[in-house]
Amino acid sequence: MATSQQAGTQTIATTGTPARRRVNFVPYLFILPHLIFFTAFLAYPFFYGIYISLFNFDFLRPEFRPFVGLQNYNNILFNRNSVQFTDFWSAIGNTAQFILYSVPFLVIFALLLAVLLNGNYRGRNVFRGLYFAPYALSVTVAAVLWRWIFENGGLLDTYLTRIGLPPLGGLGAQPGAWIGITVATIWWTIGFNTVIFLAALQEIPESLYEAASLDGANKVQQFFRITIPMLRPVLVFVITIALLASANLFGQPHIMTGVQSRVVGTESIVQRIYDEGIIQYRMGSAAAMSVSVAAVLLLLTTLNFRIFGRGEQQ
Amino acid sequence: MATVSVPVERTSSRPAGSKLISRIVLYTVLVLIGLFFVLPLVWMFTTAVKPFVETLQITWIPQEPTLQNFRDIFNDPSIPVLRWFLNSLGLATAFTLSVLVLDSLAGYAYARIEFPGRNALFGLLLATLVMPGIMFLVPNFITIARLNWLNTYQGVMAPGLAGVFGVFFMRQFFQGIPKELEEAAYIDGASVWTTFFRVSLPLAKGALATLAIITFLTSWNDFLWPLLIMNVRERQTLPVGLATIQGQYTFDYGKLMAGAAVTAIPVLILYTLLQRYIVQSVAMSGLKG
């Protein structure tokens, strides 16, 4: 670091100005282009979102935007008689359900897949390539594909009936809707987590396993005594991103259950915010929903790192 | 470590027969899981080339394969698939180039140039990583509307340029370059700009390629934001357009799957060719955490 500072001073010295006192603006030119966008679309909206959540903010009526204090929060969180209350809480419930269904699979199966793909055998890279391929696709493709598989009388039901099982009955009712959305999500995104685990597995020194097998530890013991403890920081990271990704559920129900989402019980919190803020133009309460959910997610993320990330620097 | 590894041959102690069986079990498991990932794509392609009557039956091999579904979706003026394809291509390309410029400049400064406020600013960037994206949806929509950028390409692109992943990615890379190379340039009297463009940036070709690929994919596949911003049908992107097709041909699965295939084929080609880079960049995003 010190050297580049010297270098900077030297640059100015060649231009013939008193180097020490003058502020060198060149570094700021490097960061400025990104910083402009960062300020406008990440830093500013953080505060602006909180700000508009305190107003009755109808986008189409700029002349009428009264300050309402915490009323939006009261409406979505506590006021049973408000328009927002019921739909908001059922969207929260739906999203929480989805997190419970998806995250265990997205973490545990991804870890098992990574262990499987980390072995030493021929064709390993082909399987790695196949398992990760769906991640390269758009959520629309994934959701449209799986809708066609889970649809009433579609591929899955046909095969279930053929082997003598009762059909799921499509995405128009539970449990079909959640099973379909969860399977589509696992298919689409598990490759991402798998690759992260795989990279971390490759960082574990082989000598640890060799020492353990000399001591007579079998593969299962090695997995729980070496692999899991060594992976802990990455495990916390993957749990966190899986949690955040599942909390952001949108495209799958938007396409697979569509306008039925609310009736079927798959309407996610992002769908709710989209409907409230963008479709119905009630941006104040949509912002209040966003802030409330973001606060909970932030809390969960922090707890996750605190509880499972012990022994690491915070 | 080397002395330990020599005498231990973990599989050699077992008889050859059990080794063969474990290989068979391994490949069976691998293939079965592989089918889960591949069959939906196969189903998409076979359905896309089926005539309508055949899509009503559950068969894997089309009796009379046809490209009619593709012709139909390309000729239907209410779903301008070709235009959507070009929109996606143009947007993803412009977005990727912008990210490369912005993030390599910023990443370099945060990695290699000392300036007042650097650590504070970088800390601010770091802090946004844990912020749930949900918070930015409504306020950014309002900002884009205020700028009169609704239904414009810059409205779709701009918020993504605020992203910090690329900055971290490039910073990480530039920190790994030996300082001696830059010092040599400075001793020769080169400015920070010259050193960046002539010495550091050429070394970053691999990192830039990796960042470019992952950025292109992200942009190509983006769904929620373009859906919010673009209400003009001609200006939509393929993934958003595909959602429109699905509204139009809800139960005409041949056409729907043809649309899905058109959306999927470019990224599947890209993925097949550049898989190594894509996997590498994802792995890096994990190791950083």
Provide the token pair at A12: 């100015």
Based on the domain organization, do B35 and B136 belong to the same domain?
A: no
CA distance B199 to A4: 14
Q: Is residue B2 part of a domain?
A: no
Q: Is residue B9 part of a domain?
A: no
Based on the domain organization, do B103 and B44 belong to the same domain?
A: no
Q: What is the 3-state secondary structure (H, E, C) of chain B?
A: CHHHHCCCCCCCCCCHHHHHHHHHHHHHHHHHHHHHHHHHHHHHHHHHCCCHHHHCCCCCCCCCCCCHHHHHHHHCCCCCHHHHHHHHHHHHHHHHHHHHHHHHHHHHHHHHCCCCCHHHHHHHHHHHHCCCHHHHHHHHHHHHHHCCCCCCHHHHHHHHHHCCHHHHHHHHHHHCCCHHHHHHHHHCCCCHHHHHHHHHHHHCHHHHHHHHHHHHHHHHHCCHHHHHHCCCHHHCCHHHHHHHHHHHCCCCHHHHHHHHHHHHHHHHHHHHHHHHHHHHHHHHHHHHC
Query: Per residue in B163-190, is it b (16+ CB within 10 Å) or e — as a string?
Result: bbbbbbbbbebbeebeeeebbebbeeeb
Based on the domain organization, do B188 and B228 belong to the same domain?
A: yes
Q: CB-based contact (8 Å) between A170 and chain B? A: no
Q: Which residue has the higher pLDDT, B237 or B286?
A: B237
Q: What is the largest CA-CA distance in chain B?
A: 75
Q: Is residue B246 part of a domain?
A: yes
Last residue of a domain, one of B32, B47, B66: B66
Last residue of a domain, one of B66, B83, B100: B66
The answer to whether residue B224 scores a pLDDT higher than 50 is: yes
CA distance A139 to A134: 9
Mean of all residue pLDDT scores within chain B: 88
- Interchain contact, B164 vs A38, CB within 8 Å: yes
Contact B86, B236 (CB under 8 A): no
Contact A169, B284 (CB under 8 A): no
The whole-angstrom distance between A75's CA and the closest CA on chain B is 18
Based on the domain organization, do B48 and B164 belong to the same domain?
A: no
Based on the domain organization, do B186 and B156 belong to the same domain?
A: yes
Domain with B173 in it: 72-288
Chain A positions touching B282 (Cβ under 8 A) are 135, 192, 195-196
Chain B positions touching A131 (Cβ under 8 A) are 33-34, 37
Residues sharing a CB contact under 8 Å with residue B59, sequence separation 6 or more, in sequence order: none
Q: Is residue B235 part of a domain?
A: yes
Which domains, ranges and CATH numbers included, belong to chain A? 72-143+173-308 (1.10.3720.10)
Residues 64-123 of A with CB under 8 A from B: 113, 116, 119, 121, 123
The answer to whether residue B5 scores a pLDDT higher than 60 is: no
**CA end-to-end distance (rounded Å), chain A:** 24
Closest CA to A179 of A189, A188, A168: A168
Last residue of a domain, one of B66, B84, B104: B66
Based on the domain organization, do B57 and B91 belong to the same domain?
A: no
Q: Is residue B7 part of a domain?
A: no
Q: Which residue has the higher pLDDT, A235 or B280?
A: A235
Based on the domain organization, do B62 and B85 belong to the same domain?
A: no
Based on the domain organization, do B102 and B126 belong to the same domain?
A: yes
Residues sharing a CB contact under 8 Å with residue B145, sequence separation 6 or more, in sequence order: A59
Sign of CA dihedral B152, B156, B159, B161: negative
pLDDT at B71: 93
Provide the token pair at A108: 């545990």
pLDDT at B59: 85
pLDDT, tens only, B143-189: 999 999 999 999 999 999 999 999 999 999 999 988 888 888 888 88
Q: Is residue B54 part of a domain?
A: yes
The answer to whether residue A3 scores a pLDDT higher than 60 is: no
Based on the domain organization, do B36 and B115 belong to the same domain?
A: no
DSSP structural state of residue A135: G
Based on the domain organization, do B62 and B150 belong to the same domain?
A: no
Q: What are phi and psi of A211, to 5 degrees?
A: -60, -40
How much is the CA Rg of chain B, to the nearest whole Å? 25
**Nearest residue of A to residue B216 by CA position?**
A136
**Nearest residue of A to residue B279 by CA position?**
A195
- Interchain contact, B192 vs A27, CB within 8 Å: yes
**Which one of A29-38, B7-16, B265-274 scores highest in mean pLDDT?**
A29-38
Contact B113, A30 (CB under 8 A): yes
Based on the domain organization, do B119 and B23 belong to the same domain?
A: no
CA distance A168 to A179: 9
User: In chain B, how many domains are there?
Assistant: 2
Q: Is residue B5 part of a domain?
A: no
Provide the token pair at A167: 């059909």
Provide the token pair at A304: 């996750």
CA distance B102 to B111: 14
pLDDT band at A92 (very low <50, low <70, confident <90, very high): very high
Q: CB-based contact (8 Å) between A194 and chain B? A: no
pLDDT, tens only, A173-230: 899 999 999 999 999 999 999 999 998 998 899 899 989 989 888 888 999 999 999 9
DSSP SS3 for A282 = strand
Based on the domain organization, do B158 and B271 belong to the same domain?
A: yes
Contact A80, B200 (CB under 8 A): no
- Interchain contact, A294 vs B132, CB within 8 Å: yes
- The model's pTM is 0.88
Q: What is the CATH number of the domain that holds B215?
A: 1.10.3720.10
Q: Is residue B29 part of a domain?
A: yes
